[in-house]
């Protein structure tokens, strides 16, 4: 996709569609366009009841009165509600219409000052992200030829006033990086699990380090070394699979570092549940169980280009959760790297076992200032928050605030959840330090977070349970069915704000 900034009057651009965005009850911004269209614009808008409310869309032929063949009007809603995510959604609706009419070149005219807080740079960044992620497709396994014959959108012009040109150039650069990172994470999740094996994730990490040898180092810890380190919890999960486990450790070092952040991504490349086998309908999408790891890899791919000023370590304890003669069985006891013992009562609660060793490793070898994990950890989190919102648990108010702030910018919804003391006894085992499932039925996402907290020591830590939003079960204009890339923009925004 070719995205170009244009200071030229948008009505003179040679495109087949011009998307014009309008704030609610701000139709006055359309006066000159209406004049150029000999007054038909306002009469059509009136007839269609278009006032600029969010989700409103009106499209009309220009009959050669201006250069674009069609004009698509899109509502932005009220100014006080017009955040960067509203802009992203509105642009994705425009792009959707542009694709529907099979336009190859389109232009976008956005009143960037209409953004709440009028952060011009954020508005342009949001537009670019939306254009790129709403044209994302995972079509490589489709053999049908018809799709290929359809004309594709190849060029998008963004109208910009000369006084904003410089800001917009920077924002287009950052927005393009964010979108590419999101699409990379989507690809990794959408690939079948026999492609994205632990070995594939390790190779991806190695390729990232090879691209930026000065900034990024990678260490892949093989099974034998993990055994020596005492990662009994992680290796317990891995031992049922013929796929070799790969413990991935990436390090990004900036020129001058302000501190250390560890990002941990759950990297179960397929979760069958193990011997506590999942029913088929719950297993269908379980290639998604490395979405946290995919997000971490995608963030790393772009850290050098974004010039992040913290040292960032990325850790993915990648393996497959399979049932077999060599698999972990309910009742088995494993010992994590930090010495804590865990009674495994359900082999489907495997994510916390791999994270226990990833955290212990980070504390021992990295000693971070902050640690954040992204994990498709529990179905219970989806019961609590639905499919669009991730749960956020943290032992640090400061870290929590920073992540919530970042999520308001990135548009990925997260919700503050508790770490209540009175639930801690629910994960105590009579014969080991902990058990991997709780006593009783309720609050499974909370007890999972409490389990993780046992492995973070005093490090300011935040846990994002992304089981719901990591994977879309139906198409929307911004996110097609499949991997969503959730967490990528959130973490990049957080790192840039540190
Ligand atoms: N990977 C799943 C969680 C999950 C479920 C992610 C649905 C995305 C969509 C996790 O490993 C799991 O199976 N968790 C169990 C825990 C239970 C056995 C305590 C669950 O949520 O049912
Ligand atoms: Zn599981
Ligand atoms: Zn899992």
Residues 146-173 have a mean pLDDT of 92
Distance between Cα 273 and ligand 3 center (Å): 7
Q: Which string of DSSP letters, residue by residue, matches 49-95?
A: T-S--TT-EEEEE-TTSSSSSEEEEEEEE-GGG--HHHHHHHHHHHH
Radius of gyration of the chain from its Cα atoms, rounded to whole angstroms: 24
Name which residue sits closest to atom 7 of ligand 1, judged by CA.
379
Q: Are 490 and 250 in contact (CB under 8 A)?
A: no
pLDDT of residue 144: 76
Residues 11-57 have pLDDT tens digits of 999 999 999 999 999 999 999 999 999 999 999 999 999 999 999 99
Residue 150 pLDDT level (bands cut at 50, 70, 90): confident
Q: Is any atom of ligand 1 closer than 6 Å to the C-beta of 445?
A: no
Residues 381-425 have pLDDT tens digits of 999 999 999 999 999 999 999 999 999 999 999 999 999 999 999
Contacts 24+ apart (CB under 8 A), 76-80: 76/21, 76/22, 76/23, 76/24, 76/52, 76/111, 76/114, 77/23, 77/24, 77/52, 77/53, 78/23, 78/24, 78/54, 79/23, 79/24, 79/114, 79/116, 80/116
Residues 302-327 have a mean pLDDT of 98
- How high does pLDDT run on average in the chain? 97
Q: Is the pLDDT of residue 145 over 90?
A: no
Q: Is any atom of ligand 1 closer than 6 Å to the C-beta of 376?
A: yes
Residue 146 pLDDT level (bands cut at 50, 70, 90): low
Which ligand approaches the C-alpha of residue 437 most closely?
Answer: 1
pLDDT of residue 274: 98
Q: Is the dihedral of CA 175, 178, 181, 182 positive or negative?
A: negative
Give percent of the chain with pLDDT exceeding 90. 98
Name which residue sits closest to atom 9 of ligand 1, judged by CA.
467
Residues 181-207 have pLDDT tens digits of 999 999 999 999 999 999 999 999 999
Q: Are 403 and 392 in contact (CB under 8 A)?
A: yes
Q: Is the pLDDT of residue 147 over 70?
A: no
Q: Which residues are catalytic?
A: 278, 352
pLDDT of residue 237: 99
Q: Are 196 and 271 in contact (CB under 8 A)?
A: no
Residues 120-137 have a mean pLDDT of 97
Atom of ligand 1 nearest to the CA of 273: 13
Burial (CB < 10 A; 0-12, 13-18, 19+), residue 202, is buried
First-residue to last-residue Cα distance in the chain: 31
Phi, psi (rounded to 5 degrees) for 351: -60, -45
Q: Is any atom of ligand 1 closer than 6 Å to the C-beta of 437?
A: yes
Mutate to test the pocket of ligand 1, among 291, 344, 452, 467 (most ligand atoms within 8 A of CB): 467
Q: Is any atom of ligand 1 closer than 6 Å to the C-beta of 379?
A: yes
Atom of ligand 1 nearest to the CA of 438: 19
Atom of ligand 1 nearest to the CA of 278: 13
Distance between Cα 298 and ligand 2 center (Å): 23
Q: Is any atom of ligand 1 closer than 6 Å to the C-beta of 465?
A: no
Phi, psi (rounded to 5 degrees) for 221: -95, 120
């Amino acid at each position: 996709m070719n995205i170009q900034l244009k200071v030229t009057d948008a009505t003179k651009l040679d495109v087949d569609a011009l998307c014009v965005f309008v704030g609610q009850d701000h139709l006055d911004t359309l006066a000159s366009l209406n004049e150029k269209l000999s007054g038909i614009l306002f009469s059509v808008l009136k007839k269609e009841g278009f006032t600029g409310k969010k989700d409103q869309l009106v499209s009309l032929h220009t009959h050669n009165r201006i250069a674009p063949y069609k004009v698509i009007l899109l509502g932005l809603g009220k100014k006080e509600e017009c955040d960067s995510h509203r802009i992203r959604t509105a642009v994705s609706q425009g792009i959707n219409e542009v694709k529907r009419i099979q336009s190859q070149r389109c232009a976008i005219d956005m009143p960037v000052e209409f953004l709440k807080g009028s952060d011009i740079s954020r508005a342009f960044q949001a537009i670019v992200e939306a254009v790129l992620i709403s044209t994302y497709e995972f079509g490589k396994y489709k053999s049908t030829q018809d799709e290929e014959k359809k004309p594709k959108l190849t060029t998008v012009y963004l109208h910009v006033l000369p006084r904003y040109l410089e800001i917009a150039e920077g924002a287009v650069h950052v927005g393009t990086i964010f979108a590419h990172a999101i699409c990379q994470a989507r690809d990794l999740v959408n690939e079948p699990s026999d492609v994205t094996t632990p070995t594939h994730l390790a190779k991806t990490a190695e390729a990232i380090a090879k691209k930026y040898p000065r900034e990024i180092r990678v260490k892949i810890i093989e099974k034998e070394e993990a055994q020596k380190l005492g990662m009994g919890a992680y290796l317990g999960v891995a031992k049922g699979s013929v796929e070799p486990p790969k413990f991935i450790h990436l390090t990004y070092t900036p020129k001058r570092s302000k501190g250390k952040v560890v990002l941990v991504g759950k990297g179960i490349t397929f979760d069958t549940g193990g011997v506590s086998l999942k029913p088929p309908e719950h297993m269908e999408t379980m290639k998604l169980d490395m979405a946290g790891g995919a997000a971490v890899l995608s963030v790393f791919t772009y850290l050098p280009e974004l010039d992040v000023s913290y040292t960032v370590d990325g850790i993915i304890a990648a393996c497959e959760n399979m049932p077999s003669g060599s698999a972990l069985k309910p009742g088995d006891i494993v010992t994590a790297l930090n010495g804590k013992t865990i009674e495994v009562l359900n082999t489907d609660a495997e994510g916390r076992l791999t994270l226990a060793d990833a955290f212990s490793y980070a504390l021992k070898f990295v000693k971070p200032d902050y640690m954040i994990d992204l994990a498709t950890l529990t179905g219970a989190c989806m019961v609590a928050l639905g499919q669009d919102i991730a749960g956020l648990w943290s032992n640090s108010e400061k870290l929590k605030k920073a992540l919530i702030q970042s999520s308001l910018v990135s548009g990925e919804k997260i919700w503050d959840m508790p770490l209540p003391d009175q639930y801690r006894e629910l994960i105590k085992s009579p014969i080991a330090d902990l058990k991997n499932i709780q006593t009783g039925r309720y609050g499974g996402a909370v007890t999972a977070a409490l389990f993780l907290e046992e492995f973070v020591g005093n490090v300011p830590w935040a846990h994002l349970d992304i089981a719901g939003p990591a994977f879309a079960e139906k198409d929307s204009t911004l996110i097609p069915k499949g991997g969503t890339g959730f967490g990528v923009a959130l973490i990049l925004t957080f790192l840039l704000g540190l």
